Structure formats: structure tokens, C-alpha cells
Structure 1
Amino acid sequence: MESSTQPDAHDPTAENDAESTVLDLTGCQLRDLSSVELPSTLTELDLTTNRMTALDPRISQLSNLQKLSFRQNLLNDDSVRPLSSWDTISGLQELVFRDNQLKTIPDVSIFKKLLVFDVSFNEISSLNGLSKVSSTLRELYVSKNEVPKMEQIEHFHELQILELGSNKLRVMENLENLVSLQELWLGRNRIRVINLCGLKCIKKLSLQSNRITSITGLEGCVALEELYLSYNGIAKMEGLSSLINLRVLDIASNKLTQVNDIENLTKLEDLWLNDNQITSLDNIAEAVAGSRESLSTIYLERNPCVDSSTAYFSTLKQIFPNIQQIDSQIYA
């Protein structure tokens, strides 16, 4: 019997020939790429979850490359430095260094068409270096680092998503020029005051797990659709009545005693109020009058009003005719 000429199914190069455009080596635990062929036609190279400590210089010759991911490797500042001179791949649009060992923002100024840049889950202590990142950027991810200040972001006029959660930020600042920003994620920081610096285009805002005690500062954000404020120190619902496009409001785990200022929100679908100090359901119907038809999910568990009301579920079902979920109880 003749020996098979088919490639080994476990060979990472098995499906990559001269016409290949995508090479996914996720989870191969490679220390380097010496055993891997890199076709010149590649447009995407995914090296997620390997053990690389250096960049293979052959990548610098992949002139068609648009997406490059080194997520979850062992790269440090020195090992990514060669990237700054890789002119041949200057057309790169997506670059991911998420979950490595970086301490500074890499020099990626050579990439003039960059749309997505991810350096989350590293050890970066400053945003210094972002000023060199192309103004074409649409998505920037720097979560789970050690960043204390929002800086060098003013030139990102095209930016749509900014993720700075799980850092050491105390102040919301330098957002004025981010006129295209639609999503701002700042959860798990040390922010005390909401300040969107005049921006009114944001659709999703997360400030969970900060030190906020007042919701004021959002009145002009009429485009806002999702607002996440759980795990703060908010005692009063205010500044919400103008957010007419709001669909999701999460204000769980705060210090609320009443539901206020949302009676005009006719598009509200999800309302999270659990783990507060709301004592009664008496005014709930009036408080959410505008969203009685639209509301599909409400969380109120672990409030005093739940403990004291034997008709809790039936009361809420009467108020909200289209309700699909009350706390963990789901209705078909």
C-alpha cells in the first residue's frame, strides 16, 4: 500500500498553501514560528495563546497583512521594538498585544491605517506614546493596566470605542475631540465625578465600580442607549429624564431609596435596581410610567421592598404587561 501524501492533521501549516490569506495558530503553544510557513499572501495572522518571546522577522515581509494578533503571549517592551521599522506591513489595520508583558505603549507610528489597537491586560503605567498612534484609529483597548491619567487621546477624531476599564483613573478628561466616540468603558477605576467634556454622541457608557455619588453630568447625552453605574455610592436617581433613547439602565448595588427621574424613558427595556435600599413598590408604576410597555427585564432583588411584599412578582407583572424577566425568574 502506498504511503499517504496527505499532510498531518495536527500540522499548523496543513491548511496553508501559496494562496492562503488567513493563518490561525491559536492555542498551539509555540515558542517561535520556525516550524511554520508564512505564505506571502497572508492578510490575517492570529498567534493567540502561544509562548512567544520575540517577533519573527518574516512577519515584516507580509505586505498584504491587515490583521495581526499576539494575544496572550510572553512579549515585553524590548521584544516588540522591531515592529516600529516594519515598513512593508505599514498598511496593517488591526494590531493586538492583549495579555502580554508590556510596560509601555509600543511605537506603532508606522501604521498609518490602523483601526484597532489592543494593549489590554499588560503592565502599562502610562498612556504616553498614544500621541504617535494614527488618528485613523476606531477602537482602542487599554483595560487592566496601571494607567492613572487619560492623556494623548485628543487626536482620535475617528475613535468609536475607548476601553480604559480596570486602571487607576481618577478623572474623566481630554474627551472633547473624540466627536465620533460611541462606547466609553471606564469600569473599575477611581472616578468620583461624571464628566463627558461636552460629548453628546456616546451610546454606551460604563462607570461600574468607581466612586461616583451623583449621576449629574449626563443631561446632554441624548444618544445614550446603555448606561452602567452599578457598584458606586449613588443615593439619588437624577439627571436621567433627558436620556430619551436609553434602553439599558444598570444602577444596581448603590444606595438608592427611591426610583426617580425615569418616567419619560419610553424605550427602556432593562432596569437593574437590585442591591439597593428601596423600601417600597408604592410609586414604582408612576416612576416608570413611560416604559411600562417596553420594559422586559427588571431586577429589584435584595431591596427591602422585596422582603416586605408577599405579592412582589404579581405586582410587577401587573405593572409591566410585557415583562419577560423579574430578577432570576423568567417568563415565557
Structure 2
Amino acid sequence: MDSSYDKQHLANSINESDETITSLDLTSYQLHDLDSIDLPPSLVELDLTCNRLSQVDPRITLLSNLKKLSLRQNLFDDAGIECLSHSHAISCLEELVLRDNKLMKIPDVSIFKNLLVFDVSFNEIPSLNGLSKVSNTLKELYVSKNEVTKIEEIEHLHGLQILELGSNRLRVMENLETLIDLQELWLGRNRIKFINLCGLKRIKKLSLQSNRLTSMKGLEECVALEELYLSHNGISKMEGLSTLFNLRVLDVASNKLTAIEDIEKLTRLEDLWLNDNQIVSLEGLLETVLGSRETMTTVYLEHNPCANSPNYTATLREVFPNIQQIDAQIFA
């Protein structure tokens, strides 16, 4: 939708609309600016995802009712969004999405005292410096796919529930101790060698896929954990799992495992991903998965030596009476 006719039609439809409009979605219009667009002062949500914008329209900084602003997938650099840091009119903003732009630093968002969601993923940010100015009201923080080397300046975010730092250059899990309400921690595609959850016990979802782990130790106290993703590491032994009674999803695919272990007491497992390991035999499997026989619905064991046994599928279906999927094979 990038012809001049389409843009003029868009402008007319907005300009003729009721001035009490609260939501405006301009996604994928390939706009280079908003000169032809009216921005009603009643706007609560403004979505400018997937355009060609490089400068924040000054009128946006006057929208005193604005709660949600998405500038995702545009051409903004640090200077292009600087005016947002100085506008008291939009200081009640609760959600700011700057994902997939050209930012080189964490922008100053200290003016937003009620911020709940902050997303600067898919930029070129080398450091978390600046996060110390983010309001402690924040619930969700996304800084994935940047160049970050250290977890820092987040200690004051006591109410944070989701932290996404995947696809960076992190080597150490640190400075998480004060995030007492954290429920989701996403650290996939980094360079982390050891699991250190810094005493946090409320985490429900944890991803450390594609790191440099050789051990699963460090999870024992995460009793609230429901989903655990550890695929594509160098883990040789399943351990530290027996206390994770709430675990529903366990992904340890593409590691160096030779046996299925330490899940006998788990009674809620539904998805078990063990493909691309070195598990030789299914002997003793019944005892190993005794607690989750009835709940298991999906098992991946392909690309293990045991998957070549003649009774592979039949054995798994016998062990798991309610199984719905084995590798790519789905059962009615």
C-alpha cells in the first residue's frame, strides 16, 4: 500500500474520522513522514510499525492521552527519537516499542513514570547503560538481538516479570537478585557457560538455548519452573530436575546426552525434546518417566541411536498411553 492514491485515501479516511478516535494503526503503509496524517488528540494507542520513518513527528509528543506507542521496524536512529525524552505531555506512556531500528544506545525514558513495557530489541545497542533511568514500574523489558555484553542497571526493576536478552554477547548470568517477581527469562543465543539464577525462585519460563553450557546444575531451587529450554548446548547429563515438580516442557535437544535421567518424580511433563543427542537405548524408559506417563503428549527422540531400534515407535506409544506426537509423526 505505497501508491500516492493509497496514501491520500488513508489521509482522507483519518482526517474525516471522529475526533474521539482512540486507536490508530498505520502498520505497513511505507510512510516516510506523517505530514498528510491527522493525529487526533484523543489517541490512546498509535502503531507505526513497518514504515520508513526516521524522525518522530513533533505532534506525537503532544498526545497527552497516549498510552501505547509502537515505532517498530522503521529507520529511527538515536537523534530521530530524542524528542520523546523531553515531552511532558506524553509522560503517561505505558508501552514504548522501538524494536528493529538503528539505535546505538538505550534512549532516555526517565520521563515515563508509568512505563510497563519497553522494547529496544533488534538494534545495535552495545550496553545496557541507561536502563537505570527506566521507571521501576516496568513489567516487561526486551533487549534481544543487540550487542550487549553485561547484565547491568536493572537492579531497581523489582516488579519486572519478563526479561528478554537473547541474541547478545552475554557470558555471565548476574545482577538478577532483586528481580523477585521475574517469571520469564530469555537468554538464548549468548555465550553463557554456567547457570546462575541468583536465588530467584518464581521463574516459570527459562531459555538458555544455544549457549555454552556443559551442565544443568543451578536449577534445583526454581520450583515454579514450567518451561525449560536448554537445546543446542554441550550438556552431557540430565540433572537438577527432580525438584521441578511444575515442569511441563523440557527441551534438551541437540546436546551430548547419553541417557534419560532425573525426571522420575515429575508428574506434569507434557513435552519432552531429546532429539539430536547420543541416547543409545530405551531400556528402562518406563521407570525413568514413571511420574509423567499419563501427562506426556509430545516426545522427540529422533537422531539418537535409540530411534533406530525396530520397535521404537511402538515402545514409546506403550510407555506413554496418551501420546499425541512422536517426532514428526502425529497420532489422532
Q: Does 1:225 align with 2:226?
A: yes
Structure 1 length-normalised TM: 0.96
In the alignment, is the contact (CA less than 8 A) between 1:270 and 1:296 conserved in 2?
yes
1:85-164 equivalences in 2 (<5 Å): 85-164=86-165
In the alignment, is the contact (CA less than 8 A) between 1:13 and 1:37 conserved in 2?
no
State the shift of 1:17 in Å: 2.7
Q: What stretches of structure 2 of length at least 5 have no aligned partner?
A: 1-5
In the alignment, is the contact (CA less than 8 A) between 2:281 and 2:306 conserved in 1?
yes
The whole-number CA distance in structure 2 between the counterparts of 1:153 and 1:58 is 32
In the alignment, is the contact (CA less than 8 A) between 1:12 and 1:25 conserved in 2?
no
In the alignment, is the contact (CA less than 8 A) between 2:214 and 2:236 conserved in 1?
yes
1:314 corresponds to: 314
1:235 corresponds to: 236
Q: Counterpart amino acid of 1:321?
A: P
Structure 2 length-normalised TM: 0.96
For residues 123-156 of structure 1, give each alpha carbon's deviation from its aligned partner in whole angstroms, at most 9, with x where no partner exists: 0000000000000000000000000000001000
1:4 corresponds to: none
The whole-number CA distance in structure 2 between the counterparts of 1:318 and 1:239 is 27
> Aligned-residue CA RMSD in angstroms?
1.2
1:11 corresponds to: 10
2:3 corresponds to: none
SS of 1:14 mapped into structure 2 = helix
In the alignment, is the contact (CA less than 8 A) between 1:67 and 1:94 conserved in 2?
yes
For residues 179-200 of structure 1, give each alpha carbon's deviation from its aligned partner in whole angstroms, at most 9, with x where no partner exists: 0100000000000000000000
The whole-number CA distance in structure 2 between the counterparts of 1:44 and 1:321 is 48
State the shift of 1:10 in Å: 3.9
For residues 76-117 of structure 1, give each alpha carbon's deviation from its aligned partner in whole angstroms, at most 9, with x where no partner exists: 011111111110000000000000000000000000000000
Moved over 2 A (4+): 7-10
The whole-number CA distance in structure 1 between the counterparts of 2:271 and 2:24 is 40
Instruction: Report percent identity of matched pairs.
Output: 69
How many residues are paired up? 325
State the shift of 1:13 in Å: 5.2
Q: Counterpart amino acid of 1:73?
A: N
Q: What stretches of structure 1 of length at least 5 have no aligned partner?
A: 1-6
SS of 1:184 mapped into structure 2 = strand
Q: Does 1:327 align with 2:320?
A: no
For residues 196-252 of structure 1, give each alpha carbon's deviation from its aligned partner in whole angstroms, at most 9, with x where no partner exists: 000000000000000000000000000000000000000000000000000000000
SS of 1:123 mapped into structure 2 = coil
The whole-number CA distance in structure 2 between the counterparts of 1:276 and 1:117 is 38
The whole-number CA distance in structure 2 between the counterparts of 1:150 and 1:191 is 12
The whole-number CA distance in structure 2 between the counterparts of 1:247 and 1:306 is 23
In the alignment, is the contact (CA less than 8 A) between 2:149 and 2:169 conserved in 1?
yes
SS of 1:317 mapped into structure 2 = helix
SS of 2:19 mapped into structure 1 = coil
The whole-number CA distance in structure 1 between the counterparts of 2:236 and 2:67 is 48
State the shift of 1:9 in Å: 9.1
Q: Counterpart amino acid of 2:60?
A: I
SS of 1:11 mapped into structure 2 = helix
The whole-number CA distance in structure 2 between the counterparts of 1:217 and 1:298 is 25
The whole-number CA distance in structure 2 between the counterparts of 1:76 and 1:42 is 25
